[in-house]
């Protein structure tokens, strides 16, 4: 039996890793799954854990008020190291490009444990775009023994960097698996659907709507202002269209979005949404 440690720190990563955990759990004679969360983002990660109904074996709970990357990394490495020593896993799985993925992959390599990296091969060829995710991706690729690429194009980016072809596997993107799992769950839950229809009853039944989101660090400043101005233009020239925009709580997002968009009756600014609500809106939004 192989012991596989699956590590997540944020809501998106837990959602993307849930299909992997579920698939491994189908083969109890072959795999023992150990789920570790770092709680890099505490509240939103807890929301995801409740949604996917996965209970962690270990909760490192590293989040502190006003944390910065060096402090976060140091606490995470110390706590995760003790888990690695205790569990002696055969494989550690990390997802994409967070500080959780980098630190846990690095810690695993210190113990000569094989690391699998999910959603590899995304490249911008600018180490500060996005920052620090771009740097994290490259560093994890150096550490990793198994590379799981979402697309053929992503796979093609890896051999020129010295990664052996036999260690790269094109798997598709697990976020698509998570999306369809959630949609299937929603379609079977009539009470939840009624609740969602009520929650978003402010959307006109006679209008189409666009679901918008923009919160990445690379959009801070002028890029985000331009996105907001573009949304205003779309509404200006389309009378039968509405926009719903869940606004991230970061002040760098809140200020320009509310300043530019708050007074338009057909642009609905909401608080951040849980994953099920967001998926429901994606399903109902206008397709061009």
DSSP string of 16-31, one letter each residue: HHHHHHHHHHT-TTTE
CB-based contact 228:220 (threshold 8 Å): no
The pLDDT value given to residue 158: 96
In the chain, where do the E strands start and end? 2-8, 31-37, 58-59, 91-95, 114-118, 146-149, 168-170, 208-211, 241-246, 267-270
Q: Do domains 2-178 and 190-284 have the same CATH topology?
A: yes
The pLDDT value given to residue 171: 96
Largest Cα span, the chain: 61
The pLDDT value given to residue 288: 65
Residues in the chain: 288
Question: Omega into 132 within 30° of 0, i.e. cis?
Answer: yes
Backbone dihedral angles phi then psi of residue 32, each to the nearest 5 degrees: -110, 125
| CA neighbor of 261 nearest in space, from 275, 277, 242, 280 | 242
Q: What is the CATH number of domain 2-178?
A: 3.40.50.2000
Cα 276 versus chain centre, distance: 14
HSE, CB side, 13 Å, CA atoms: give it for residue 36: 30
Three-class SS string for 218-275? HHCCHHHHHHHHHHHHHHHCCCCEEEEEECCCCHHHHHHHHHHHCCCCCEEEECCCCH
The pLDDT value given to residue 114: 97
Domain covering 190-284, topology: Rossmann fold (3.40.50)
Would the CA dihedral through 39, 44, 46, 52 be positive or negative?
negative
- Spatial neighbors of 229 by CB under 8 A, at least 6 apart, are 260
Going residue by residue through the chain, which has 288 residues, state the pLDDT in tens, using 9 for 90 and above: 999 999 998 888 999 999 999 999 999 999 999 999 998 777 778 888 888 999 999 999 988 777 778 888 999 999 999 999 999 999 999 999 999 999 999 999 999 999 999 999 999 888 888 888 899 999 999 999 999 999 999 999 999 999 999 999 999 999 999 999 999 999 999 999 999 999 999 988 888 999 999 988 778 889 999 999 999 999 999 999 999 999 988 889 999 999 999 989 999 999 989 999 999 999 999 876
135 CB neighbour count, 10 Å cutoff: 14
Sheet with 58-59, strands from edge to edge, namely 58-59, 31-37, 2-8, 91-95, 114-118, 146-149, 168-170
The pLDDT value given to residue 47: 82
Measure the CA–CA gap between 7 and 35, rounded to whole angstroms.
Answer: 6
Measure the CA–CA gap between 245 and 257, rounded to whole angstroms.
Answer: 9
| CA neighbor of 18 nearest in space, from 58, 39, 45 | 45
Question: Any idea where the domains of the chain sit in the sequence?
Answer: 2-178, 190-284
- What is the pTM assigned to this prediction? 0.86
Catalytic residue numbers read 97, 119, 133, 215, 217, 248
């Amino acid at each position: 039996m192989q012991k596989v440690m699956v590590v997540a720190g944020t809501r998106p990563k837990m959602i993307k890793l849930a299909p992997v955990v579920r698939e491994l759990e189908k083969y109890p004679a072959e795999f023992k799954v150990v789920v570790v969360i770092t709680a890099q983002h505490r509240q939103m990660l807890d929301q995801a854990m409740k949604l996917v109904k996965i209970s962690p074996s270990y909760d490192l709970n590293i989040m502190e008020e006003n944390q910065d990357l060096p402090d976060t990394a140091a606490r995470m490495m110390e706590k995760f190291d003790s888990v690695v020593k205790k569990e002696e896993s055969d494989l550690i799985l990390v997802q994409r490009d967070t500080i959780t993925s980098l630190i846990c992959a690095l810690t695993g390599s210190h113990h000569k444990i094989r690391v699998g990296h999910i959603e590899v091969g995304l490249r911008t060829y600018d180490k500060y775009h996005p920052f620090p995710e771009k740097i994290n991706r490259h560093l994890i690729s150096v550490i990793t023994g198994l590379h799981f690429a979402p697309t053929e194009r992503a796979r093609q980016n890896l051999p020129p960097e010295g990664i052996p072809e036999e260690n790269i596997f094109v798997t598709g993107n697990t976020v698509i698996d998570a999306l369809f799992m959630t949609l299937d769950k929603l379609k079977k839950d009539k009470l939840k659907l009624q609740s969602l229809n009520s929650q978003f009853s402010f959307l006109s039944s006679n209008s189409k709507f666009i679901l918008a989101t923009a919160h990445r660090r690379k959009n801070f400043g002028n890029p985000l202002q331009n996105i907001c101005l573009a949304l205003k233009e779309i509404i200006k020239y389309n009378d039968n269209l509405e926009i719903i925009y869940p606004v991230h709580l970061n002040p760098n997002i809140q200020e320009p979005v509310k300043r530019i968009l708050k007074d338009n009756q057909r642009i609905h600014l909401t608080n951040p949404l849980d994953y099920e609500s967001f998926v429901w809106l994606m399903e109902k939004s206008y397709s061009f």
